[in-house]
Each structure stands twice: as structure tokens, then as C-alpha cells.
Structure 1
Amino acid sequence: MALAKVPGTCLLTVRILQAYDLPSKDLVTPSDCYVTLWLPTACSQKLQTRTVRNSRNPVWNQSFHFRIHNQLRNIIQLKIFDQDLVTSDDHLLSVQFDVGTLRVGEHKHKSFPLGSKDKRLEVEFRLRSLSDCAEQLVSNDILVARELSCLHVRLEEMGDQQGKGRVQLVVPGSYEGSQEASVGAGSFCFHFPACWEQELSIHLKDEQLKVPLNSLPNGQVVRLVFPTSQEPFMRVELKKEESPEKLAVRLGSGPCTEEQAFLSRRKQVVARALKQALQLDEDLQEDEVPVIAVMATGGGIRAMTSLYGQLAGLQELGLLDCVSYITGASGSTWALANLYEDPEWSQKDLAEPTKLLKTQVTKNKLGVLAPSRLWQYQQELAERTRLGHPACFTNLWALINEALLHDEPHEHKLSEQREALSRGQNPMPIYCALNTKAQGLSTFEFGEWCEFSPYEVGFPKYGAFIPSELFGSEFFMGRLMKQLPESRICFLEGIWSNLYAANLQDSLYWASEPGQFWEHWAKDQASLEKERVPLLKIEETQTVAGKIAEFFTDLLTRRPLAQASHNFLRGLHFHKDYFEHLHFSAWKATKLDGCPNELTPMEPYLCLLDVGYLINTSCPPLLRPMRDVDLIVSLDYNLQGAFQQLQLLGRFCEEQGIPFPAVEPAAEELRQPRECHLFLDPDRPEAPAVLHFPLVNDTFRTHSAPGVRRAPEEMAAGAVDLSASGSPYHYSKVTYSADDADKLLRLARYNVCNNRGRLLEALRLALRLRRRKRRGPQPQ
């Protein structure tokens, strides 16, 4: 992350000349057209030309000026509208232009073709350097935090006009936007980009005062009297100063220092456990200790219950201390959230936590929607809204889900799980979610992995993270603006397992066969080529059929139940070379990646939901090259397709260029999956080995324990129904019978314990991979 006063401020002049052969919405008269200009790296508002009436070839000949920084990706959007005095203005055409293709001092005439030979928009661009301004930039070469100024405004009453009227203060593009209060109410504060040419507007009744902010001296108080048509009655006191330079958002692609320190502590535990498990003669040095991770998929109560059983199996074999990371998605996050309330959970017998789990899984759930419970939910949600959290249905689902899994509300918070990592005594948990668009695109067209750990919450794609206790607070340009109390972990579980946020288009994807789904998804990704062109996009006039298609697209992609969380990336801009950055491109998963004006930092809220709407896996955090994982123990809780999600993950990694072994089970394994399967790529040491445990009932049917065959009267205990449709463990089931809960716990534990030899073989393989990496590349 670089922090410096960086020269590179330029003045961009855009002259809108004229357009030719514009379409007309009116069959009788030509269009009344104007052009809007939007450059979000230089101005928060859309600027607009005058309207030229009754012309298919309008001439505007108007100039607009923008102060830009050449270290940013500056994309200007030009839109042509037909003004309508009765209905909303019709959008005719749109173009986007990359200002980075201009050279300083260049005067460039650009003719944008708009579909046909004669239809075009003529624009002139001019770029010249401004030597009087060097701006403070903080960047990881993907995102850029710019220098902020802080404006303090104080209003004082004058004369005998006290308390009359309301005053509104507006600084466009600031974090606060607009603020309103009674005359003489006191002090206000605005945070805004320092190099933007902003102004403060003060509105009182029908009168207005505008103050250019770049004319105010830093650190000095300026006093003005509001000029009204009547007797002056309000004094305005202004003071502009620099905002703190330190960011609350960490811009960096590697693990945070706390995670690095944890891993060092954990490797000491892992080294001792591996020495005992593999009967090694010598102690392992820290740099030869392999990084081993457990990856759990989602699957509702089934995933939560099965994970308890499999962790108990690893503990019984003495292998749980060999694990450095555990990742979870959807239902498996419920198990992790429960376990990590105890800072010593993996060092204790899991019998007691499992007993508590069974109590909750088998209890009657009807009371969770009782009127008294609903009133309690309403009270807590009202308090969250009062504190500043956005209101959304997912928060209600979070409270209902908590009632399904617990008898009383749990006050535990994600950041409190750091105590469970303080001595390296447990693996580090990582919880996964997807960020997408609330409307307009399906998950397969726009999906960004977001990870939650006790230390941080963030987006690997952008290299942007915040301390976990600050998730939900309000940020602007990387600075913390308003800190809200950390949410109870149940509200995060509502994000991680939001079962009801699927839009219709997601459902249509998954209604197809797995192969059809992938080909459809991969086809959508085919346009994601690394190219940089001046004209990024042209949109033409919509026909009636196009408007109907847009209506159905909105209908198919709307997410009425999506989680609305304050966006901690809000206000950050993109570095000019962000698209070429290794870690950004490696985590590319959206057709919008080449359009920075449409990516997540431009959104006021995040739209976070269950990862199962893309791929039911929690593996991506383990594939970050900085974590350098050697072995992934894959725990898959899907009832349909023992390898389906792992194969989708493999195809995803192949498309993105992420090292991952080929998942190619033999035909016999597809017909009759075993309890454990190893996948590796001997030619690519950077790819982790994957030991895959699908949820199958194989030898458990005939064996009550490894090597112990069932007696005839015990055969019923081995009959575990894992069918895709009629299973008592379907994800929609929230209550199990005591017998079904016991069967699933025993099956999960058995499948791990019955594969002790394969697990030890995989650990030896991980140790060899680590030692191979330690030696470095060998000469050919």
C-alpha cells in the first residue's frame, strides 16, 4: 500500500459538439435532446447540456471542465435524452470513454458511432496538466483512497427571527450529502474529496447561498452573513481542514498481521500433532509445517450436524490439531459459530457440544413464530434501525434462525472469536458470503466472494478489508465515518445462510442439469477478456420489445430479501491499472469488471447472500496464494451429486487461472462414490491436494465402527436415507427426530474414522509438498 503526495492532477475539458441522425420518440416532431456527462472520479453530480428542440441533428457546442487525477481509472459516461414535459425523459443513446487514452496536452476530436453509418455523437476532449495540486493518494494498485477535507459549518441566529423556518445544507459528493435543521440549530460537518471543485449550498425558504469550498483557506474560520431579501438574520461560520490521513480500510492483498501471527502460533501446535500422527523422528521447523485446511459446504441443519460428527472424528484420530483453517458456508457456519463461543473447544471432548446440538436439532420449532417471539424480534430490529443499520428482511430471518438453533439470544460476536486463536489452540475459522447486485443481474453475471474471519471482513478481489468489529459501520473513502455497535453473530449468520434471497434467474440456472448450468455460466464469462479500449460500451434506443425484455429482466433478477449492509468500500476509486493487477484479475467473476463505474465501490450498500447461489463451497479463501494451503479436506454435504460442486469449483478455478487439481472421478466412483477421494496435480506444486469426503452411506450400512460388522439386529441403524428428494435431511427440514440426528452424527464420524489411512497418507503428501516448496524450483 502506497501513501504519498502524488502529482498528476489534470484539467479535462469535454466539449459536446453535435449529434447526427438521432431517433425520435415522437412520430410527429423531432426530438428535444440534451446530453448528460457523468465522471464519478471528478464529480458526484451529472452535468447536463442545454436542450436543443425539434432537431434530429442537434448542435450544443458546450464545454465542461473536470479536475481529474491521472493515477485513477477515469471513465466518462455520455447519455443523450429526449426531453418530455409530460412523462419521464426518454434515454436515447449512451457511450463510455476511457479518459486514460488521452495524453496530456492532447486535443482530440472523437466521433462516436451510434449504430448506423450516419448516426453519431461528436465530442472534443482536451487534457492539460495542473501543476498547482499534488494529492494524497493511498492505493494497493487496485483501489485508491483520495485525500479528504472536512468542512465545519456553524449557524448562528441574528435579530429577532429565532426559530423560524428550516435550513438545508448541501455539499454534493460528500459523505453526508445534505443535512437539515431549524434555523440556528448549531454545528454541521461535511467530508468531501479535497481536490473536487465543490460548493456548499445553504437553502432557506426560497433563498439560497452558495460558497465555493476551494476558496476557503485551510484551518481558518470564515464568517458570512446570509444575504436575504429581508433583514439579515443568520450568520454562517465556516472552517475547512484536512481529514485524518489514516484509513480504517486495509488496502492489501495479503493476510493481515494478526492472521500471520496466528499462523505462526498455530504451526507450533500443528508441528507437534503431525509428529505424533506420522510418527516422525524429528521436530518440524516452522517453514516446513504444511498448511492444512478443512472446507465445509452448506446444507442447512444437515451441514451443521454432519460437521459436528466429522470434527469429532478428526479429534478422535488426533488429527484436528493438524488443521490451521476451517472454512464454512451456509449451514456449516452455524456449527462453527456455536463451537467458537468456547475458546478451548477443539481441546475438549465434543460430546457435550454435540449433546446440546441434538437438543436444538430435535426440539419443537413452532414457538419461533409465536406472537411473543415476533414482538421480541420487532423490538430488536427497531433498535438496530435506530442505531443506523439498514432495515431488511434478512435481519428478521437472522432472529428466526437464531430461535431455531438456540433457546435464548446469544450475545456472542465475531470479533470475540479472536480469544479462541490467541494461543493458536484452534484452527482459524473463515465464513463465506457472496456480494451481488440487488437487481438487474443474476448471481452468475455478478458475484464477488466476501470472507469473514475473527480478525477481518473483506473482498480478496479488491484487496480491501476492515476489522470484523467494524462490519456494518459507515465508511467513506476508506475512513470510518460512523461506528455502529458490532452486531451479534446471528445477524452475520443471516447473511451467510440467507436461504430466501435467490432470484428467479438463479433458480432457472439451477433447474438445469449441472453440465448445462456450467456451460451457460461459462458462456456469460466468455467476454471477460483483458482488453482496454476507449469506447467501452454503446447503448442504443430501446424498442418496445427491448423495454419488455428489460421489465422481465428486472422481474427475474430482483432480490427483495437481500441483505442490505453499509458498504465499507463506498467512495473508493480505481487505480488506472487495476484491471491488470494479478490478484484482481485472478478473482474476476463478473462481466462488469471492465466498467469501474458499475462496481461495488459505487454502491451505498452491499448485497450479501449465501454462496450456494453460485457454488456450494467455502473453498475460495483457501485458494488465495498468500495463504499457501497444501491440503484441503473437503467436507461436502450435498445430497445430489457427490462431486458436482467440487467439479464446478474446479471449472471455476480453470476459468480464472487459479491452481486447483482436476476433479475427474472414475466412472465407477460416479456411480458408487466412496467415503473418501484424493485429487492432486503432481506437476503443479502450487495447487493444493484435495481429500474429498462426500456425504455418502457406503460401508456404514454394514459396519457400526471401522472394522466392526453389524449384527443382523443392528442393520436398521445403518440405514441412513440420503436420497435427494425423500431424505429426512433435506435442507428445508429444520427438525430431526432423535433417531435421524443420531444416525447422521454417527455416519459423519464413521466416514472420517474409517479413512484414517487415507488421511495419514494425505498428511504425508502435504508434508512433502511443503518441503518441496521450501526447497524451491528444481533445475530442469
Structure 2
Amino acid sequence: MIKIGTSLNKGEKNHLKGRKPCVQQCLEKNNIPCTLGNVPNIAILGSGGGERAMVGMLGSLSKLAELGLLDAALYMSGVSGATWCMASVYEKPNWSSDIKQIKSVVERIGHGSVSLRDQISLLKKYHRTNANFSLTDVWTALVVPMVVKKIDESTLSNYQTGQDPYPIYTIIDQDCKYEGFIHESFFELTPHEAGYTLAGAFVETSSFGSIFNKGVLREKKPEMDMTYLQGVCGSALADKEVILKKLKEWLEIWAEELQSHDGPKILAQMLELNYCILRGEQWTQLVDELNALLTDFSAGDPMEVKSLNFKNTKMPSQIKADKMDKIKNLKQYFPILKSQHAKIAFPKCVTLSWIWGTNYNFLYDMNVPQVHQNLQESETSHFEDAGLLVNSPYMSALRAERGIDLIISLDFSAGDPMQTVTETAKLCKEFDIPFPAINVTKCDSTSPKAFYVFKGLKKAPTVIHMPLFNIENCGSELEHYREKYGTFQLPYKPEMIEDLMEKAGENIINNKENLLREIESIVKQK
């Protein structure tokens, strides 16, 4: 059930075999003749960026479908917000040939809703069924449904992908990132297997999250549902400081809108206390403030509640021992926690947890020399949003076995729109992975064009890079659009979704001929 190596899974190979005739037909309809054996391997990549990325991806895919270009893609891979789009459109097989599925998703996120009661029920379920309950469970239940407007309890391994582009969801191993093992950090999930993209270690997706020891399945655990997968993929949309600041603002606004209890404020205070300790800053005042919030609700609440308690799991290795001791001993600073009657505004399942994305490590104690020893030492691993490392899923497309000829990078990042491609180029040089040279100017970062092409190395794929907001579709309003569609804000209103869809679609419409020209060039090279 565990595969050591980078060869493609049989299920992926079979899917590609069924998809390639669709690609061939698409190209022929666009006057690009090619044989079945000459079909180019094209991957569409969607970057992170919260709901901006989700809606931008929807707008881009919608126009690609309308213009008859979507079926040219063999693969589709996403980070963070782009995975929210992917999870939504892939709910139905053969969606790429049915524009109605994309339109139904747009309608849902614009006008749908998920009740707080249903979110709390999901949170209770996660606490009851997930032995590694963490802040990712809280984030998933209380934030993700607010944006995607659905709780999806299906699983990735049960996806019937039909003849759609093969989907790849990407995250990173938090522990590897903290410890500086960047090559080992990249992780991907497909309908058939989940594992370390570059390190070359995989497990069947249906068994990801189960307990393994020495490569043997010891205890089968339920596979994560699609809502949780979206939660872990989008669990950290920027660095820790930004997450803390924006999430705290979001939760406080949410508490004001609910006008019922201080649960979101308590969660925000927990997060701020956590990161304050990790930064080594003064944190005792935050303890006093959190105690005050807890005391306010110690008299009881109409919702089912329980005593606050701590869940002390393994801290990332870079946290010094004295900070770990402080976290482990925080309970002594909360007098209210010593009472059997301590209450908080959160439902029964909520506990204090200081770790994101805990999952059983399928490589635990395997002792295989081909895989870095650090990946085999711990019983659990911790996963988070891949945007904390590189905000686009290039590494999934650069697995040599996938033989990608052309990458179409749809970039919805905040800040420098060229950062993802330049960072990837640096990593590829370090990892000895073929990738074209990226030559950009300061002007490209501040006032980007809508369409860039990078190529050159013989074994490297051609890379098309398309920033969402650019001087062609935004003109003098470039900064206005960047500010209007932030990564962290409450869910977009229908008119915002419509406007953003239009901007993303303009990029595709205005560059249809450019896309076809580069595709035709790849076919001629093959």
C-alpha cells in the first residue's frame, strides 16, 4: 500500500490514457492537427489567494471552456484557494465538458449559505472521529463553509473524474519546512495516491490518515472528507503574522454579526496567544484577557459546552524548550480552568490545540534509505497550505514522470505577481529540475502584463504565466482591484464575484490566440 519511488500510479496512467483523445479532439477543433501519440502534456496551475483565487480560477476555467480550450489540458493542479475551486467543479464527473457545472458553483458561492448549526455539527463530528483534532479542524468547520457555501462529506478517492483533467491538490509538510528540508516539504493528493512529490513516497489516498508502522497498515482510519481537504489546503493563506492579524479581525467581525456569543473572539485570542509565545514576546497580558472572556461565559450558555482543556501535541522542532514548557504549563495561569464548572462559548467539542494539520505518518519507522530519515521518525506529520512555501503548484507539474510540455500558470497571488514563478526557478536550480530562466523587471512586479511566456531549456516545459490583475484588464485601476479583493475578508458579495469572474475571463479572451500559438509550437516540437 506504500510506494517508494516517483513512478506514476496505475490509476493516473489509465486516466491519462482516457483523457488524451479529448485533448487531441480539442486541438483539432482549434486547427492544430496532431496524432494521438503527439498530444502535448499541458497542465493548468491555479495559485492560492483565498476566495480571490477560487473565483478567479472559476472565471478563467469558464472562459477556457466557452472558447473551446479547456479540453487541451491533461492535468489541473492547485494551491489553497484554487483547490476550493477544484473541489467544487470536480463534484460532478465530466464537468470540463459541461459549462453548467461551473455556473452552478458560481451561483452557490454567490447566493448559497451554510448555517452555523451545521458548521458546529461538523466541528463536533471532527472532534469525535479525528484522533488528531487540531486547529485545522476548527478552521475547516468554521471558515471554509462560509466561503465555498457547502459541506462536502465525499472523499477524494471516490471521485469519478470521468474524462476531465487529472486533478492534483497540493499541500506541504510543515515540519520539513520548519527544519529546512524544503525538497521533502512538497506533498500532493490525487484520487489514487497521496505523498511526497519530490521525495518519492506515496500511499493510497483511501489510506492516507490511517495508522502505519514499518510500512504495514496497523489501523484503518476514515479518509478525510473534501471539506477537510479544502481546509488543510487553505489552512494558512500567508505567513503566520498575516494569518493572525487577519483571522483575528475576521473572527471579531463574525462575532459582532452573530450577536450571540464570544466564541470567535475566544478563538482569535487563543491564536494570538499561541503565536505570541512562538515569537518569544510578552504574553501574560493575553492570558488575563482570555481569562476574562472565559469568565464571562462561566455562568453558562444555551449551547452545549464543556470545560476548557489543552491538547498538548508535539511542537515544531524550532520552538525552544523554554517556550514549550510555557505552553505546556499555561494551565496554571488560568484559574478558571481548575474548576469543574468552567464553561466557554464554544460547543462541547472545542479544545485548545496548538498545532495545525496533524495526521498519522504513513512512513513512520519504515527505515528505507531512499527516503530522508526525518520523514520516518515521527508517528505524526503536520500539513498546511502550500502557499506558505510557494504559492503555486509547480512542483506537482514538474515531476519528470508526468512529462509536462506546457504549464499554464493562472496566478491569483497577493503582492508581487511574479513571485511564484521566480521562487520556483530558484528552487528548481537548487534541486536540479529543468525550468526555464525567468527574467522579469521591477515594472513586471508593479505593473504586470497579462501574458508572459518563459522557455529555453531543452528538457524544461514552456511556462505561460498569467497574473489575475494586470495593466491590460485593470488599466489605471490596478491598485483599486488589488485592494478590493483581499485574501482575508468576509465572503464576497454576488456583484463582487461577477466582477472578479469578468476580470479573470478577460485575461483568457484577450489571450486566446497567444495560448493557441504556444500550444501549436509545443505540438510542432513533439
TM-score, L = length of structure 1 = 0.51
1:353 aligns with 2:91: no
* Structure 1 residue 359: Cα displacement: 3.9
Distance across 1 between alignment mates of 2:207 and 2:441: 47
Are residues 553 and 644 of structure 1, via their aligned partners in 2, closer, same or farther at CA, if it must alter by over 3 Å?
A: farther
Aligned partner letter, 1:354: K
1:390 aligns with 2:140: no
Aligned partner letter, 2:423: L
Distance across 2 between alignment mates of 1:303 and 1:557: 35
Q: Secondary structure at the match of 2:209?
A: coil
1:733 aligned partner: 489
1:562 aligns with 2:304: no
Distance across 1 between alignment mates of 2:357 and 2:31: 46
1:237-316 matches, cutoff 5 A: 248-280=1-33, 283-286=34-37, 288-316=38-66
| Deviation readout 1:439-492 (Å, 9 max, x if unpaired) | 9x3668786111000111011333221111111111112221111222211111
1:326-365 matches, cutoff 5 A: 326-350=76-100, 353-361=102-110
* Structure 1 residue 614: Cα displacement: 1.1
| Deviation readout 1:544-587 (Å, 9 max, x if unpaired) | xxxx9945886999992311101111121132xx4xxxxx7xxx
1:432 aligns with 2:170: yes
Are residues 505 and 640 of structure 1, via their aligned partners in 2, closer, same or farther at CA, if it must alter by over 3 Å?
A: closer
Does 1 or 2 have the higher relative contact order (CA < 8 Å, sep 6+)?
Answer: 2
| Deviation readout 1:198-233 (Å, 9 max, x if unpaired) | xxxxxxxxxxxxxxxxxxxxxxxxxxxxxxxxxxxx
Q: Secondary structure at the match of 2:484?
A: coil
Distance across 2 between alignment mates of 1:658 and 1:557: 41
Q: Secondary structure at the match of 2:143?
A: helix
Q: 1:755 aligns with which of 477, 488, 511?
A: 511
* Structure 1 residue 416: Cα displacement: 1.8
Q: 2:208 aligns with which of 471, 486, 492?
A: 471
Are residues 469 and 426 of structure 1, via their aligned partners in 2, closer, same or farther at CA, if it must alter by over 3 Å?
A: same
Q: 1:489 aligns with which of 226, 237, 252?
A: 226
Aligned partner letter, 1:315: A
Contact 1:363 1:735 in 2 (8 A): no
2:142 aligned partner: 400
Distance across 2 between alignment mates of 1:632 and 1:658: 15
* Structure 1 residue 373: Cα displacement: 4.4
Q: Secondary structure at the match of 1:571?
A: coil
Q: 2:125 aligns with which of 368, 374, 380?
A: 380
* Structure 1 residue 723: Cα displacement: 5.2
Distance across 2 between alignment mates of 1:557 and 1:296: 37
Query: Which stretches in structure 1 are left out of the alignment for 5+ residues?
Result: 1-247, 508-547, 579-583, 585-592, 703-717, 772-780
4+ residue runs of structure 1 moved beyond 4 angstroms?
Answer: 361-365, 442-447, 500-507, 551-559, 718-724
Contact 2:62 2:505 in 1 (8 A): yes
2:256 aligned partner: none
Aligned partner letter, 1:338: S
Are residues 379 and 737 of structure 1, via their aligned partners in 2, closer, same or farther at CA, if it must alter by over 3 Å?
A: closer
Q: Secondary structure at the match of 2:517?
A: helix
Distance across 2 between alignment mates of 1:720 and 1:289: 37
Q: Secondary structure at the match of 1:693?
A: strand
Say which structure is richer in helix.
2
1:588-607 matches, cutoff 5 A: 596=373, 599-607=374-382
Aligned partner letter, 1:376: S
* Structure 1 residue 383: Cα displacement: 2.7
Are residues 552 and 728 of structure 1, via their aligned partners in 2, closer, same or farther at CA, if it must alter by over 3 Å?
A: farther
1:693-732 matches, cutoff 5 A: 693-701=466-474, 724=482, 727-732=483-488
Say which structure is richer in strand.
1
Q: Secondary structure at the match of 1:768?
A: helix
Are residues 376 and 458 of structure 1, via their aligned partners in 2, closer, same or farther at CA, if it must alter by over 3 Å?
A: same
Contact 2:48 2:412 in 1 (8 A): yes
Contact 1:343 1:420 in 2 (8 A): yes
| Deviation readout 1:110-138 (Å, 9 max, x if unpaired) | xxxxxxxxxxxxxxxxxxxxxxxxxxxxx
Aligned partner letter, 2:426: R
Contact 1:435 1:607 in 2 (8 A): yes
Are residues 502 and 766 of structure 1, via their aligned partners in 2, closer, same or farther at CA, if it must alter by over 3 Å?
A: same
1:643 aligns with 2:436: no
Aligned partner letter, 2:126: L
2:193 aligned partner: 456
Aligned partner letter, 2:30: A
Contact 1:329 1:497 in 2 (8 A): yes
| Deviation readout 1:331-372 (Å, 9 max, x if unpaired) | 11011001111002111124x53354344246678x54xxx3
| Deviation readout 1:590-618 (Å, 9 max, x if unpaired) | xxx5xx3xx01111111100011111111
Aligned partner letter, 1:569: L
2:404 aligned partner: 629
1:420 aligns with 2:176: no
Distance across 1 between alignment mates of 2:107 and 2:209: 32
Distance across 2 between alignment mates of 1:555 and 1:751: 52
Aligned residues: 430
Distance across 1 between alignment mates of 2:82 and 2:218: 33
Are residues 573 and 447 of structure 1, via their aligned partners in 2, closer, same or farther at CA, if it must alter by over 3 Å?
A: closer
* Structure 1 residue 665: Cα displacement: 2.3
| Deviation readout 1:263-311 (Å, 9 max, x if unpaired) | 122111111111221342xx5132x211000011100000000000000
1:744 aligns with 2:500: yes
1:676 aligned partner: 451
* Structure 1 residue 407: Cα displacement: 4.9
2:368 aligned partner: 574
Are residues 637 and 557 of structure 1, via their aligned partners in 2, closer, same or farther at CA, if it must alter by over 3 Å?
A: farther
1:202 aligned partner: none
1:48 aligned partner: none
| Deviation readout 1:126-173 (Å, 9 max, x if unpaired) | xxxxxxxxxxxxxxxxxxxxxxxxxxxxxxxxxxxxxxxxxxxxxxxx
1:115-264 matches, cutoff 5 A: 248-264=1-17
Contact 1:328 1:432 in 2 (8 A): yes
Distance across 1 between alignment mates of 2:119 and 2:413: 32
Q: What's the C-alpha RMSD, in Å, of the aligned pairs?
A: 3.1
* Structure 1 residue 436: Cα displacement: 2.4
1:225 aligned partner: none
Aligned partner letter, 1:430: I
| Deviation readout 1:604-654 (Å, 9 max, x if unpaired) | 111100011111111101101111100000010013112112111111111
Q: 1:613 aligns with which of 372, 388, 399?
A: 388
Are residues 655 and 391 of structure 1, via their aligned partners in 2, closer, same or farther at CA, if it must alter by over 3 Å?
A: same
Q: Which structure would you say has the larger Rg?
A: 1
Aligned partner letter, 1:379: K
* Structure 1 residue 406: Cα displacement: 5.0
Contact 1:680 1:687 in 2 (8 A): yes
Fraction of identical pairs, as percent: 25
| Deviation readout 1:712-769 (Å, 9 max, x if unpaired) | xxxxxx9576555xx2311111322322211100010111111011101110122133
Contact 1:339 1:345 in 2 (8 A): yes
